[in-house]
Amino acid sequence: MNSKKKLLITAAAFIIVIILAVIAYRVLAKRSAADNLMPAGESSETSAQTDFPEGTSENSSGNTQGSETVESDSEASSSGESGSSSDDSDSSNPVPEFSMTNADGDSVSISDLTGKPVIINFWASTCPYCLDEMPHFQDMYDAYSEDINFVMLDIIGFNGETEADGRAYIEAQGYTFPVYYDTESEATYAFGLRSLPMTLFIDKDGNMIAYANGRIDADILQQGIDMLLEN
C-alpha cells in the first residue's frame, strides 16, 4: 500500500511540475514580447544564442528574448546596429534601398512597395521564434492587406535556410501573405542583420517609424500597425 501511495504522490508531483513549467513558459514568452517595439532611432539589445557564420547549420540553445543571432559577412559592412543604417540627426529614417525575389522569381525593390505603409518581417523556417509569430502576421494580413504592404522576407542562409525550405514551409502551413526571398543577401547587408526575427514598420514615404527585435505577439503587431495608420 505504501508503495502505491508513493507512486501516486510521485506521479502527482510530476504533473504539477509540468503544469508549472507550462505556465512559466507562457509568462516568459509574453514578457519577452511585451516591450520590444521601439521607435525608429532607438536601439534595443538582444541576447541571441544562434550563430549564422556563412550559412552553417549549427544551432545552439534559445533565449527568453525571442530572437536568434545572425552573424555573417554583413557585420564587416554595417554599423553593427539592427534595423537602422545610420544615425541621422533629423526625424526621417529612410529605409535603405535593396532588392529581393518574389514568389514568382522576379526581382522587387523595396522602393517599389512604397506609396502606402509597409511591414517587413525578417524570418527563416529554421528560426523557431519566427514561426511562432507567423499566425499573427497572417491574421493582420487578412485584416489590413488593402492598407498595408506586407513583406515576409525569408533570410536565405540563416541556420542553413534555403529558398526551397522557405517555400515548402509556407505551402505546408497554407499562409497567403506575400513572401519574398533575400537570395542575394541584399537585405542582410542593408540592415546589418544580427538577429531573427525582426520586424520593421515603414510609413508610406519609406521612413521607418518603429521596429521590433525578437518575437512579437498579436498585441505588439497591432500597436505597430496603429502607428502606421496614424501617420
Q: Which three cell numbers stand for residue 163?
A: 529558398
Task: Please report the pLDDT score of residue 23 as a whole number.
Answer: 52
Distance CA 116, CA 119 (A): 10
| Other Cβ atoms closer than 10 A to 189 | 20
Task: Please report the pLDDT score of residue 3 as a whole number.
Answer: 72
Task: Please report the pLDDT score of residue 12 as a whole number.
Answer: 64
| Other Cβ atoms closer than 10 A to 28 | 12
Write the DSSP assignment of 92-155 as a string of letters.
--BPPP-EEE-TTS-EEEGGGGTTS-EEEEEE-TT-HHHHHHHHHHHHHHHHHTTTSEEEEEE-
Q: Which three cell numbers stand for residue 34?
A: 511585451
- Reading the chain (231 residues) residue by residue, the pLDDT tens digits are 567 766 676 666 667 656 655 454 444 444 444 458 988 865 544 333 233 333 323 333 333 356 666 544 333 333 334 344 344 445 688 999 999 999 999 999 999 999 999 999 999 999 999 999 999 999 999 999 999 999 999 999 999 999 999 999 999 999 999 999 999 999 999 999 988 999 999 999 999 999 999 999 999 999 999 999 997
pTM of the model: 0.70
Query: Which residue in 68, 91, 129 sits closest to 207, CA to CA?
Result: 91
